[in-house]
Amino acid sequence: MANMESVGDFKLLEAKIIASSGLEVDISSSIVNIVIYEDTGTTSITGEIMLQDAFALTNIGPLIGQEYLKLKIITPSLTEKENTIDYTENVLIINSLSNRSSAGNNVQVYILTFTTSELVKNQRTKVRRSIEGTYSDIVKIMLQKELNCKKDIYIEPTSGIKRFVSPNMHPFDVIKMAASQSISKLVSAPMVTNYIFYETTKGYHFRSLASLYAQGSVQDYTTFVPGGSIDYGGIINIERELGNILDYEVLSGSNSLLNHTTGVYSSDLIVHNIFNKSIQKHSYGIFENFKKESHINKFHGNVNKNDFPIYSHLAIENNGKTVQDFRSRILVTPVSQNGVTDAQHSTAKDTNPFTPNDSQNWLQPRISQMIQLEQGFLINILTHGNTVVNAGDVVRLNLPYNAAFKTTENENSDRFFKGAFLVKRLRHDFDFGDKKHKTHMTLVKDSLEDTLDGPDDNFEPKPKSSARIIDTIEELYPRL
């Protein structure tokens, strides 16, 4: 245990601003608070640093939103290796100064907003050329050549050689386009899609949800009664306290109207092949396709790795139809395909090594599963600070069953908020007032270990009598 005195400890090793004038200033003694954000839905890390300034740095520097920030913070861990947030070589970019106000005694307080340099470079870079290669190779080109990224890059190799013309796109837009269409080369059965692109303090990630789910759990979280982390002899159990949920909020869950509209439950895809003038229709239903997809309990379920949808397959019409039987969203995509090759592109030697986008392999399940990450079982938790956990990691959650009456199974845990969850986003708060570090996390899961009840005779209750039609002039114009 590396110098762990109490949970939430941290040490600031370096905090310096390099002003636009070239002046380098140590701001360690002026920091009130540092916040760092990670999110699997955004391309880069962002953050805020609140300063209490008695030296008029805003004028002397000056601070105009074009400065560099060197930052290094160490948090102790349960191993001999300390966890470090290090931006002393890959410096952060200060992009704005806001909320500037006087605190009295010639002291002013303001907030500096910062982000990683790749995001700033992305905004001033446009890609205007033809690009060839696998999508994973294209991502490497965008990060290393276009954005000069020197950080660790986690890339899951993709299959198929692609060719497209980038019409004045930012590098991150090229990467996001690649993520939406990528198919993993590492796993072929079942086919792995659903790539996402994001950054953590450990580097950039271009990988599938399946690869995230396949990781081991990095931390267990549950709620303890006061004093529950104290062992015999009055010694605090640090490991247990790190897994203690200080506060939580269960977010709104699935929206069935949205799920029908967006294609979570079902959709039809019409693929028009421009080359041979053919049309193919592909139908997607969540219950039919669920086992072909990669969801979190497929890797972290119980002993039998049971993995079931978070929706019920109950019959909603008296003809036995379920939510997946209504194709409320229809998608249309064109291809130019000659067999298994892309007929739209060819090499200088008139060969066709390029693969088409094959939207029938990824579009419908991607729409369904990505929206499930926004409409699944979501919970916000507050814990003691822990930089071992990053966005995109898997943690295990165990919320107690809170009710005046026990179930027949006498369950101790909430049936929905237990087991493996994906860290969708997190926020590190370093408070220099009380010298403590806390972490706010949003956790999500898109499958269950047990199937939900789905009776075939529980359709929508309706009156037996027919609807009454009101169409007479006496009833519609009573005062005429």
pLDDT digits (tens, 9 = 90+) for 132-185: 999 999 999 999 999 999 999 999 999 999 988 899 999 999 999 999 999 999
User: 102: burial class by Cβ within 10 Å (0-12, 13-18, 19+)?
Assistant: exposed
Express each pLDDT in 27-74 by its tens digit: 999 999 999 999 999 999 999 999 998 777 877 778 888 899 999 999
Strand partners of residue 166 = 129
Express each pLDDT in 332-369 by its tens digit: 999 888 888 888 787 777 777 888 888 999 999 999 99
Those residues with Cβ within 8 angstroms of residue 330's Cβ, 6 or more apart along the chain or in another chain: 267, 268, 269, 270
* In the chain, % of residues over pLDDT 70: 91
Phi, psi of 181 (to 5 degrees): -115, 0
**What is the sign of the dihedral through the CA atoms of 319, 323, 324 and 328?**
positive
The DSSP output letter for 40 is: T
Q: What is the mean pLDDT of residues 269-292?
A: 92
Q: What is the mean pLDDT of residues 207-221?
A: 93
* pLDDT in the model for residue 444: 95
Q: What is the mean pLDDT of residues 224-248?
A: 68
**Which segment of 247-251, 260-264, 317-321 scores lowest on mean pLDDT?**
317-321
Distance CA 373, CA 107 (A): 45
Average pLDDT, the chain: 87
List, in order of start, the domains of the chain with CATH numbers: 11-116 (2.40.10.10), 125-212 (3.55.50.20), 254-365+450-480 (no CATH)
Contact present, 98 and 109 (Cβ < 8 Å): no
pLDDT score of 229 more than 60: no
* pLDDT in the model for residue 61: 75
How many degrees, rounded to 5, is the angle at CA 342 between CA 339 and CA 348?
120
**Residue 1: band (very low, low, confident or very high) from pLDDT cuts 50, 70, 90:** very low
* pLDDT in the model for residue 77: 66
**Residue 223: band (very low, low, confident or very high) from pLDDT cuts 50, 70, 90:** confident
Express each pLDDT in 116-136 by its tens digit: 999 999 999 999 999 999 999
State the greatest distance between any 2 C-alpha atoms of the chain, in Å, as a whole number. 88
Q: What is the mean pLDDT of residues 93-107?
A: 85
**Residue 410: band (very low, low, confident or very high) from pLDDT cuts 50, 70, 90:** low
Express each pLDDT in 281-300 by its tens digit: 999 999 999 988 989 988 98
Q: What is the mean pLDDT of residues 384-406?
A: 83
Helix (H) or strand (E) holding 92: strand 83-104
Helix (H) or strand (E) holding 267: strand 266-273
Q: What is the mean pLDDT of residues 307-319?
A: 85
* pLDDT in the model for residue 82: 57
**Residue 242: band (very low, low, confident or very high) from pLDDT cuts 50, 70, 90:** confident
- The model carries a pTM of 0.90
Express each pLDDT in 53-65 by its tens digit: 877 787 777 888 8
**Residue 228: band (very low, low, confident or very high) from pLDDT cuts 50, 70, 90:** low
* pLDDT in the model for residue 227: 52
Contact present, 137 and 146 (Cβ < 8 Å): no
Nearest to 119 by CA among 142, 85, 141: 142
What is the residue whose two structure tokens read 């298994």?
340
Q: What is the mean pLDDT of residues 300-308?
A: 74
pLDDT score of 452 more than 80: yes
Contact present, 379 and 200 (Cβ < 8 Å): no
